[in-house]
A = this chain, B = another copy of it.
């Protein structure tokens, strides 16, 4: 048998000690940050009925979702490809609170195909979501929380693009574009693929001024000045005016991130409904974090609730973050009956050190096992010295 049984599927990885330690440390820092701001931790399951997982989320997420048959019910299950809709379900149905609910989570999702060439099929999604408040204060809080999370992780966002799904939707609705074409246009816009965009609009005979406005969207990006200019290129629909005012206000409120605009950057799996944002880093091709409004998701679970939040791939974040030197471990000699040694070991462990018992017969292999220091007796006391390599 020549099959190499230790090979993993493409775009699926083990996280080994050095990286796993950083991921765990970052996980704790971010969850503690969220908790500090009142975001309660929840753990939605890996599996749900597909109807629950994919309700109101669009075709993109459907294609990315692994499907399974439930032996208990005969129904089709999906392995979650995104946690945000699950958390919306928890808010809408399980917690069932009248006022504001803040929730956070951290867990693996699986994708049938990697989202981008270099992406993992098992991102470790971490995020925070704010339900029950329609005002832009919620969006501001969420974007600021993202800013705090990035600062805490040592990752510098070179740019945070604000967009608004309402602008595209208003144009598509006013032009009488059907759901299939809307979906196609949505994808093409995100890719900023103007030739295909022009082709699709011409093919469907989309009327003016909506054709020109949709064609202009990929060029509607830049700083505050660019946003002001955008208003001239788009029809004066009330939804569009409201959306542009919302974006301008949001930009004024978020002062701790380099905010710009990109009206064709409509991230998310089709469930976003209002202001959206994507944070980018200097050394990273894709976005570091995605977020925005998705007021309509709760509706599918029987309870419409304003919703906004963000999420990011924790492993990607760790890869972008400055790497702290991981402390090595301390080797303790094999002497289970030595009470003084065992007290010293217990004290070191209580102080946060990793202390390894030198199981007999492995001299010479302890550096390899991650030890950089050892306990030795000097002047009648147990003391730490560096382990010579």
- By the criterion CB–CB under 8 Å, are A42 and B16 in contact? yes
Cα(A55)–Cα(B5), bound, Å? 8
- By the criterion CB–CB under 8 Å, are A370 and B121 in contact? no
| Residues of chain B within 8 A of A92, CB atoms compared | 6
Instruction: Determine how close the nearest CB of chain B comes to the CB of A299; give it in whole angstroms.
Output: 11
- By the criterion CB–CB under 8 Å, are A108 and B12 in contact? no
Instruction: Determine how close the nearest CB of chain B comes to the CB of A282; give it in whole angstroms.
Output: 27
Cα(A75)–Cα(B9), bound, Å? 9
Instruction: Determine how close the nearest CB of chain B comes to the CB of A204; give it in whole angstroms.
Output: 30
| Residues of chain B within 8 A of A75, CB atoms compared | 9
| Cβ-defined partner of A11 (8 Å) among B23, B72, B354 | B72
Which residues between 66 and 111 of chain A lie within 8 Å of chain B, taking CB atoms? 66-68, 70-73, 75, 77, 79, 86, 89-90, 92-95, 97-103, 107-108, 110
- By the criterion CB–CB under 8 Å, are A41 and B68 in contact? no
| Residues of chain B within 8 A of A98, CB atoms compared | 365, 368
- By the criterion CB–CB under 8 Å, are B355 and A37 in contact? yes
Flag whether A112 is at the interface (Cβ < 8 A): yes
| Residues of chain B within 8 A of A207, CB atoms compared | none
Which residues between 131 and 154 of chain A lie within 8 Å of chain B, taking CB atoms? 132-133, 135, 137-138, 141
| Interface size class of chain A, counting residues whose CB lies under 8 Å from the partner chain | 35 or more
Knowing A20-B43, A42-B17, say if A356 contacts B6 (CB, 8 Å). no
| Residues of chain B within 8 A of A95, CB atoms compared | 16-17
Greatest chain B CB density within 10 A among A93, A360, A369 is at A369
Cα(A24)–Cα(B39), bound, Å? 14
Flag whether A183 is at the interface (Cβ < 8 A): no
Cα(A137)–Cα(B55), bound, Å? 54
Flag whether A239 is at the interface (Cβ < 8 A): no
Flag whether A173 is at the interface (Cβ < 8 A): no
- By the criterion CB–CB under 8 Å, are B52 and A6 in contact? yes
| Cβ-defined partner of A356 (8 Å) among B37, B44, B47, B79 | B37
| Binding stretch for chain B, among A28-36, A159-167, A220-228, A261-269 | A28-36
- By the criterion CB–CB under 8 Å, are A94 and B14 in contact? yes
Instruction: Determine how close the nearest CB of chain B comes to the CB of A128; give it in whole angstroms.
Output: 13
Flag whether A349 is at the interface (Cβ < 8 A): yes
| Residues of chain B within 8 A of A357, CB atoms compared | 37-38, 141
A75 to B, closest residue via Cβ: B9
Instruction: Determine how close the nearest CB of chain B comes to the CB of A25; give it in whole angstroms.
Output: 10
| Residues of chain B within 8 A of A195, CB atoms compared | none
Cα(A28)–Cα(B41), bound, Å? 14
Instruction: Determine how close the nearest CB of chain B comes to the CB of A338; give it in whole angstroms.
Output: 15
| Cβ-defined partner of A48 (8 Å) among B3, B9, B135 | B9
A351 to B, closest residue via Cβ: B36
Flag whether A386 is at the interface (Cβ < 8 A): no
Greatest chain B CB density within 10 A among A6, A12, A102 is at A6
Instruction: Determine how close the nearest CB of chain B comes to the CB of A307; give it in whole angstroms.
Output: 13
Cα(A3)–Cα(B51), bound, Å? 9
Flag whether A273 is at the interface (Cβ < 8 A): no
- By the criterion CB–CB under 8 Å, are B355 and A38 in contact? yes
Q: Other than A6-B301, A47-B122, give 5 A-B pairs with Cβ distance below 8 A.
A: A38-B354, A79-B79, A98-B365, A100-B362, A135-B359
Interchain residue pairs A-B with the least CB separation, the first 10: A99-B365, A38-B356, A36-B349, A15-B43, A17-B40, A6-B93, A99-B362, A20-B41, A133-B359, A12-B45
